[in-house]
Amino acid sequence: MGWYMGKSIRPLSDAVFTIASDGLWIESLAIQQLHTTANLPNMQRVVGMPDLHPGRGYPIGAAFFSAG
C-alpha cells in the first residue's frame, strides 16, 4: 500500500483508510469501529474523515462503500 495526496490518505488495511493530516488526533475507539464496520457483509471500503469519532457501535465522520 502506498501513500496518497501528500500522505493525507492512510491505508490501515486493504479495506480501511483514513483521511487526516499528520497532526490530527483520532480516538482509537473510532479506528476500532472502522475495522468492525469493514467486516460487515458486502462492505468494500471504509474511510474515516478528519472529523472521525466514535459512535454507538459505528463511527461518525466516515464513508462506507458497499456492494449488493
3 phi, psi to nearest 5 deg = -105, 145
61 phi, psi to nearest 5 deg = 85, 40
Instruction: Delimit the domains of the chain by residue range.
Output: 9-66
Question: CA-CA distance, 53 to 11, in Å (whole number)?
Answer: 17
**Residue range 26-45, pLDDT digits in tens:** 999 999 999 999 999 999 99
Distance spanning both ends of the chain, measured CA to CA: 26
pLDDT at 5: 52
Average pLDDT, the chain: 90
**Residue range 3-24, pLDDT digits in tens:** 455 568 888 999 999 998 878 8
Q: Which of 3, 28, 29, 33 is nearest to 16 (CA)?
A: 33
pLDDT at 39: 97
